[in-house]
Structure 1
Amino acid sequence: MHEMSLMESVIDIVCETARKNGASRVKSVRLDVGVLSHVDPEALLFCYEAVRHGTIADGAELEINRIAGEGWCLDCGKTVPLQERFGACPECGRHRVQMTAGDELKIRDMEVI
């Protein structure tokens, strides 16, 4: 389960950033997770419960925002929704679509005290 190592990295970044900014506790964390990122939000939540204990993020709420897949078709020049990686353009049917959203995993923001 790669979600465990991903969440360990998220907690490390959150705690380090909070400490660098003089915070003593993290109250909440918001993540953006793309639907095409191959990351399971339920597994992230499970791992979050395990890795936050004993850190300044212990007790912090986690919110996961799902980001839809989107791409730019090089053939028809349109921004189109993507349902799968390397999928065909729903407008022209060709496979020259540059993914522009939906594969991210990033910390959107966090609340600290």
Structure 2
Amino acid sequence: MHELSICRSITAIVTKHAAGKPVKTVHLKVGELRQIVPDTLAYCWELVTDGSELASAELDIERVPGAIRCASCDETHTLTAPILVCPQCGGRDVTIVSGEEFLITSLELAEV
């Protein structure tokens, strides 16, 4: 369960950038092609922040669908399964254009 160590890293980053201000929400983008389970990440967030200055902070996870662009037909397709083949022409020379994201996009700070 690497989500636990990921949450520890997120708390360190958030604590640094919040600079002592109370955090209301941490917004994340997580690509569907990442080996991260959002429900497990949310559970680990609760474990890691329990009893800390981030205990009341919510974790808002935006899922980013996987998408590919085919070099043969130049079509872009959202993946419905992790199969890297163009559904338009059957081409295998594809580039992943989304779905590998994992980033903190913003922090909502609480009013003091």
What TM-score, normalized to structure 1? 0.87
RMSD of aligned Cα (Å): 1.5
State which drifts further: 54-63 or 4-13: 54-63
Q: What is the DSSP-based 3-state SS (H/G/I as helix, E as strand, rest coil) of the residue aligned with 1:59? A: coil
Residue pair 1:36, 1:84 contacting (<8 A) in 2 also: no
Residue pair 2:22, 2:54 contacting (<8 A) in 1 also: yes
Residue 80 (1) aligns with residue 88 (2) = no
- Identity, in percent, stands at 36
Distance (Å, rounded) in 2 between the aligned partners of 1:74 and 1:49: 43
Of residues 29, 32, 45, the one that matches 2:29 is 32
Residue 17 (1) aligns with residue 17 (2) = yes
Q: Give the CA deviation at 1:28.
A: 0.7
Once the two structures are superposed, the pairs formed by residues 48-87 of structure 1 within 5 Å of their partners are: 48-85=45-82, 87=84
Q: What is the DSSP-based 3-state SS (H/G/I as helix, E as strand, rest coil) of the residue aligned with 1:76? A: coil
Match of 2:91 in 1: 94
State which drifts further: 82-91 or 10-19: 82-91
Alpha-carbon deviations, 1:45-94, whole Å to 9, x = none?
11000111343322111111111111211111121112344610111111
Q: Which runs of 5+ in 2 are unaligned?
A: none
Runs of 4+ residues over 4 Å off in structure 1: none
Between the two proteins, the alignment pairs up a number of residues equal to 110
